[in-house]
Amino acid sequence: MKQFLTKFIGGFINFISLFSPSAAGKMAISLFSRPRRIKLKELEKDFLMTAFIEDVQYEHLNIMTYRWLGKKETVLLAHGWESNSYRWKPLIEKLNALDYNVIALDAPAHGRSSGKVFNAIIYSECINVVAKKFNANIIVGHSVGGMAAAFFQQKHQLPSIHKLILLGAPSNFVGVFGRYIEMMSYNKRVADAMNAIVLERFNQEPDYFNAARLSEHIEAHGLIIHDELDKIIPYGDAEDFDNFYKNAKLVTTKGYGHGLKSDEVHDHILDFIKA
């Protein structure tokens, strides 16, 4: 049923492109940029309420942050698409038990943050504001949160950041766009219109937004963790990071999928942070 609906929507937008490629492109970008806001369960709310909660402003957005206080370095956690800060619960508990200061943020249009539109560029600027406010030292980003963290550090080179951990992170916009276009079966008119919209909004072609290539300018030590059976973000994206991010090491897992929720992954993260 889901596949049928996807193809139906893609076909409808392709039909619109016969008369107005621009309108079709805007529809496709809008669909691409609007995540479902997953309602928090009571158990999830209860855990997040154990933190110090504070809104941080970025332009017109209110970004929700959660802080679990510790005396060691500050670790900032950035979740991925259609997720929220609760996804980090096991890691937060382990970090806090080791007396690290832990901060998690809800991305724009996710969790308790405001907004309806989401992309890695906006997210990277939100990460920048939060990292500066709380003087973050280490960033852990999952999926698009990892891509956004790489964009952030490459652009701002925040001096307090000395370690960057990317979990299942996509390496480039072109690949993400390509998989979306293939999933929706968009025609070339729609694809070209989407690229034109990116250029208009961000003054760069989509291929500029290559987090792996830009990571060669990041001085912070990096850890890249990716599962070779990841069905969402191909393992090749991790190899892209490994090729460009010279100050990083790649750890390959097998069997944890895109979520990478496992004690083994947490152990790799903790060992890297403590080193």
pLDDT in tens, the chain (275 residues): 667 678 788 889 998 889 998 999 999 999 999 998 888 999 999 999 999 999 999 999 999 999 999 999 999 999 999 999 999 999 999 999 999 999 999 999 999 999 999 999 999 999 999 999 999 999 999 999 999 999 999 999 999 999 999 999 999 999 999 999 999 999 999 999 999 999 998 899 999 999 999 999 999 999 999 999 999 999 999 999 999 999 999 999 999 999 999 999 999 999 999 98
State the pLDDT at residue 191: 93
**107 DSSP 8-state letter:** P
Residues of the chain with CATH 3.40.50.1820: 44-171+210-274
CATH 2.30.40.10 fits 44-171+210-274, yes or no: no
State the pLDDT at residue 8: 85
Question: H or E element: which one contains 102?
Answer: strand 101-105
Residues 53, 104: contact at Cβ < 8 Å?
Answer: no
Task: Provide CB contacts within 8 A for 94, sequence distance 6+.
Answer: 266, 270
State the pLDDT at residue 37: 87
* pLDDT one-digit tens code per residue, 208-231: 999 999 999 999 999 999 999 999
